Amino acid sequence: MLTTHLLAIFLISAIVSHSKALRFPQELYNLSSNQIFIVDNLSRPPSSSASPTPLLSPAVSSPLVPALFIIGDSTVDCGNNNYLGTFARADRPPYGRDFDTHLPTGRFCNGRIPVDYLALHLGLPFVPSYLGQTGELEDMLHGVNYASAAAGIIFSSGSELGQHISLTHQIQQFSDTYQQFVLSLGEDVAIDLISSSVLYISIGINDYIHYYLRNVSNVQNLYLPWGFNQFLASTMRQEIKNLYNTNVRRFVVMGLPPIGCAPYYLQRYKSNNGECVEEINDMIMEFNFFTRYMTDELLHELPDAGIIFCDVFQGSMDIIRNHKSYGFESTANACCGLGKYNGWMMCMSPQMACRNASDHIWWDQFHPTDAVNAILADNVWRSRHTEMCYPMNLEKMVFSQSLNNLV
């Protein structure tokens, strides 16, 4: 049977969810029935021309884990940067036009981001941003999203855009949340809550976009790509160990996407027919190799830890190469932007956006559309379209570790 502490967590969570459901992101709930909205086919996004289909229950009948905690950058930022002085914000149309509310939320997408889909798979509501919630216990019991657009593994990556919350600061915020759980629930319950939850990490791409590729501080003369990748992976390794010491036991570590195929670099490197920039993609593949090797080492080093590495590059390239079978027409042009491939200028107004984002792979200069996010999330959850998570997908990790909690 489940431990007494874990049962207490779910009981507290259920009571709080019933009494203060509207304190969680309102876009998830039908105000008259508290039904969660989810599209019929999780591999495709909700359309701006059709309402989401209400189900009688979440993706699963009850939460599979107590909470989902998220650390990362703009790939998973759900609104933290709305509260910061920065150019890296997505709080204006047309961002969010295909989201459940059809309003901008701070997500760098036309609709949902990957962790929105994963939350539904786990039976959880959308996870609120750290800076957007009130700080009350009930706002955090199902998880907190600490991700900040422009953040990187290196503290100063992305600083030219303004304020952001670095990886180190996000981990400190997570530690603060943990301490609040300890004070409010007691140490044993807090430990069970954190160790039974999932922590999702998606960060590192800005260390290339805003640091290495811009040659900040003459970094290219100090580090060859191989050395820079190894430095980033070793830094990530230490941060995962720090999180482990805060009683995190279930990690999802995301690799980096093929930004050499992003519209910004296609126009900057003058790609003729939408061919990806191989020298950039080679660096990304190398980083992913180091990170996968690092997570495999940690699996053997950290007792009771469940760590999966998901190769976003591999999953994304499968979509690009087989775009027709996935239903995409455009592989190079961003739906929203200006210039060649719509990659010269960032998405700034609804007039710059295409009519139908669902047949595009790229939403703006750097970020994929909701449709791509749904496919990648399905791969993370149960390898639906292609195997990209090692040594197992998230569904298998959750259920295998749940079995270990049975007496």
For the packed helices 167-185 and 187-196, what is the interaxial angle rounded to 10 degrees? 130
Give strand pairing partners of 201. Answer: 71, 253
Distance, first Cα to last Cα, the chain: 5
The one catalytic residue among 13, 17, 74, 383: 74
The one catalytic residue among 73, 142, 367, 378: 367
Q: What angle do CA 51, 363, 162 make, to 5 degrees?
A: 115
Per-residue three-class SS string for the chain: CCCHHHHHHHHHHHHHHHHCHHHCCHHHECCCCCCEECCCCCCCCCCCCCCCCECCCCCCCCCCCCCEEEEECCCCCCCHHHHCCECCCCCCCCCCCCCCCCCCCCCCCCCCCHHHHHHHHCCCCCCCECCCCCCCHHHCCCCCECCCCCCCCCCCCCHHHECCCCHHHHHHHHHHHHHHHHHHHCHHHHHHHHHHCEEEEECCCHHHHHHHCCCHHHHHHHCCHHHHHHHHHHHHHHHHHHHHCCCCCEEEEECCCCHHHCHHHHHHCCCCCCCCCHHHHHHHHHHHHHHHHHHHHHHHHCCCCEEEEECHHHHHHHHHHCHHHHCCCEEEEECECECHHHCCECCCCHHHECCCHHHEEECCCCCECHHHHHHHHHHHHHCCCCCCEECCCHHHHHHHHHHHCCC
- Look up 33 and say whether it is catalytic: no
Cα 238 from Cα 98, distance rounded (Å): 38
- Look up 74 and say whether it is catalytic: yes
- Look up 367 and say whether it is catalytic: yes
Cα 219 from Cα 266, distance rounded (Å): 23
The one catalytic residue among 116, 207, 364, 370: 364
Catalytic residues: 74, 364, 367
